[in-house]
């Protein structure tokens, strides 16, 4: 049994132990209303991310099977990031003005359209699919969270309960990703590379039904026009240092995370730890997701002991050190692999931490707009790195610098909020 399988087994055991040891401590004891709300959100959210994860493993190989060149494939991926970047702002305004639930339904229709285009081996049609997929991604990472925070605040639940929702969302997101990868492989082996996208369409249709049946509508500022909403969001970002810092940290961290997703394979592929055979990408991916799950458990433990603004400084420092390992000792594959697991654990802590902080610091009336503005520099950074021909070591050095800068910004945020209690959550949603 090689190191990849050993790592997977070890991380699986750790996850199981953490799950059973923390199960009693994280569950809301006697608040049935909160439990039902949590289930309502997770049911819809996990269908959405499940549809997303089903598509991931076979996008590249499908394009290759259609005879696309590496340049065309890079261009398709670049268009996806560019579409997400350019569409994010007006999609966020749409969500705040016309409703987050409606925006999530639009997400499903956009992604269905993107999946349908995968049946056509024509570059121009696939390009349209990438545009639709980029727009859908902007909604996935903003409107669902915005709906949850608004409803959470309206119902008067606590900060710890908000963190619990996002911790469980992170945990089950990882579970779904592993299951979706397996399902995608099975249906692709039987029916071809386009089959996972058809299964994703089924998920998305079920998602639409569940949203319409389970969710009520909520808004940010439904009486404002697009220009005013964008101007208001811009003023909040420029005038509120905490919101500005949140956006900077998110963009720096998540851009490094996306670059890592694109670049981890070359560092492990040239030579495995045992021989020169192909590395088990599926096992490594599953190990990464197990690491994220471990991070979600650690988040629950840390929030019971420390303030998020405090412990995230150390999480970001560890993340930056993890990205430095491939730069300093790229030839020692064991250390590189362990550092990647460490980074993914940090990802598992980061997601619920920043979702919780956004829930407190970002004003409700322009929440989706601000969250999508945050994603503009994120997508721009990834797009620039994707278009440059940096060496792997240079790329990971840039990731290290980005994460270290995020760590410094997090320390400034901690200083701003130190000795002060969290403000009351913004609750202007309707």
Alpha-carbon span 256 to 318, nearest angstrom: 14
Residue 68 covered by a domain:
yes
Radius of gyration, alpha carbons of the chain: 21
Residue 100 contacts residue 143 (beta carbons within 8 Å): yes
Residue 367 covered by a domain:
yes
Alpha-carbon span 389 to 391, nearest angstrom: 7
Cα–Cα separations (whole angstroms), residue 13 to 2, 6, 42, 130, 336: 17, 11, 25, 38, 21
Cα–Cα separations (whole angstroms), residue 321 to 7, 257, 340, 356, 420: 20, 14, 10, 25, 30
Give the model's pLDDT for residue 43: 96
pLDDT in tens, the chain (430 residues): 578 889 989 999 998 888 877 654 444 445 788 999 999 999 999 999 999 999 988 888 899 899 998 889 888 988 988 898 888 778 888 887 889 999 999 999 999 999 999 999 999 999 999 999 999 999 998 889 989 999 998 888 888 888 889 999 999 999 999 898 889 988 998 999 999 999 999 999 999 999 999 999 988 766 666 677 778 888 999 999 999 999 999 999 999 998 898 788 777 765 544 444 456 777 888 899 999 999 999 998 999 899 999 999 999 999 999 999 999 998 888 899 999 999 999 999 999 999 999 988 998 888 888 888 888 888 888 888 877 778 888 889 999 999 999 999 999 999 998 865 555 555 556 6
Give the model's pLDDT for residue 275: 41
Alpha-carbon span 416 to 171, nearest angstrom: 30
Torsion 257-259-265-270 (CA) sign: negative
Give the model's pLDDT for residue 266: 73
Alpha-carbon span 68 to 76, nearest angstrom: 10
Give the model's pLDDT for residue 212: 96
Cα–Cα separations (whole angstroms), residue 261 to 37, 57, 72: 33, 12, 20
Other C-beta atoms closer than 10 Å to the C-beta of 225 total 11
Q: CATH number, domain at 207?
A: 1.20.1250.20
Alpha-carbon span 296 to 286, nearest angstrom: 15
Residue 13 covered by a domain:
no
Residue 69 contacts residue 244 (beta carbons within 8 Å): no
Residue 23 covered by a domain:
no
Give the domain extent around 123: 34-417
Residue 279 contacts residue 347 (beta carbons within 8 Å): no
Residue 5 covered by a domain:
no
Torsion 408-356-359-144 (CA) sign: positive
Number of domains comprising the chain = 1
Question: CB neighbours of 178 closer than 8 A, spacing ≥ 6?
Answer: 285, 286, 289, 290
Residue 59 contacts residue 333 (beta carbons within 8 Å): no
Report the interhelical angle of 195-214 vs 32-55 (nearest 10°).
160
Q: Which of 98, 374, 360 is nearest to 233 (CA)?
A: 374
Q: How many helices (H) and strands (E) does the chain have?
A: 16, 0
Alpha-carbon span 271 to 259, nearest angstrom: 21
Residue 17 covered by a domain:
no
Residue 57 covered by a domain:
yes
Residue 4 covered by a domain:
no
Residue 133 contacts residue 79 (beta carbons within 8 Å): no
């Amino acid at each position: 049994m090689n190191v990849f399988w050993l790592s997977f087994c070890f991380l699986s055991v750790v996850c199981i132990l953490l799950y059973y040891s923390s199960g009693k401590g994280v569950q809301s004891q006697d608040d049935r209303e909160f439990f039902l709300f949590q289930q309502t959100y997770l049911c819809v959210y996990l269908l959405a991310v499940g549809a997303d994860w089903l598509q991931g493993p076979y996008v590249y190989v499908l394009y290759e099977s259609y005879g696309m060149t590496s340049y065309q494939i890079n261009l398709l991926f670049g268009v996806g990031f560019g579409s997400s970047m350019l569409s994010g702002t007006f999609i966020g305004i749409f969500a705040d003005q016309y409703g987050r639930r409606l925006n999530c339904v639009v997400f499903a229709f956009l992604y269905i359209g993107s999946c349908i285009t995968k049946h056509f081996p024509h570059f121009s049609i696939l390009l349209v699919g990438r545009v639709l997929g980029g727009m859908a991604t902007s909604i996935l990472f903003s409107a669902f969270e915005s709906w949850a925070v608004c409803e959470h605040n309206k119902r008067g639940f606590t900060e710890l309960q908000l963190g619990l929702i996002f911790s469980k969302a992170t945990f089950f997101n990882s579970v779904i990703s592993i299951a979706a990868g397996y399902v995608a492989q099975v249906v692709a082996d039987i029916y071809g590379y386009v089959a996972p996208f058809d299964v994703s369409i089924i998920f998305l249709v079920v998602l639409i039904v569940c949203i319409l049946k389970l969710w009520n509508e909520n808004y940010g500022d439904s009486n404002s026009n697009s220009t005013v909403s964008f101007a208001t969001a811009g003023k909040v970002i420029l005038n509120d240092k905490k919101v500005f810092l949140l956006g900077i940290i998110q963009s720096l961290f998540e851009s490094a995370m996306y670059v890592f997703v694109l670049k981890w394979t070359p560092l492990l592929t040239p030579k495995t730890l045992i021989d020169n055979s192909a590395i088990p990408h599926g096992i490594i991916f599953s190990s990464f997701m197990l690491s994220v799950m471990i991070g979600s458990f650690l988040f629950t433990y840390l929030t019971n002991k420390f303030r998020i603004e405090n412990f995230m400084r150390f999480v970001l420092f560890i993340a930056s050190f993890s990205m430095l390992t491939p730069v300093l000792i790229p030839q020692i594959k064991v250390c590189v692999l362990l550092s990647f697991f460490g980074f993914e654990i940090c990802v598992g802590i980061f997601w619920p931490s920043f979702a919780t902080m956004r829930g407190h610091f970002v004003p409700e009336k322009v929440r989706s707009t601000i969250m999508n503005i945050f994603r503009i520099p994120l997508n721009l950074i990834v797009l620039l790195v994707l278009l440059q021909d940096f060496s792997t070591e240079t790329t990971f050095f840039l990731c290290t610098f980005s994460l270290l800068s995020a760590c410094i910004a997090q320390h400034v945020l901690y200083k701003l909020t130190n000795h002060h209690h969290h403000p009351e959550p913004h609750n202007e949603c309707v």
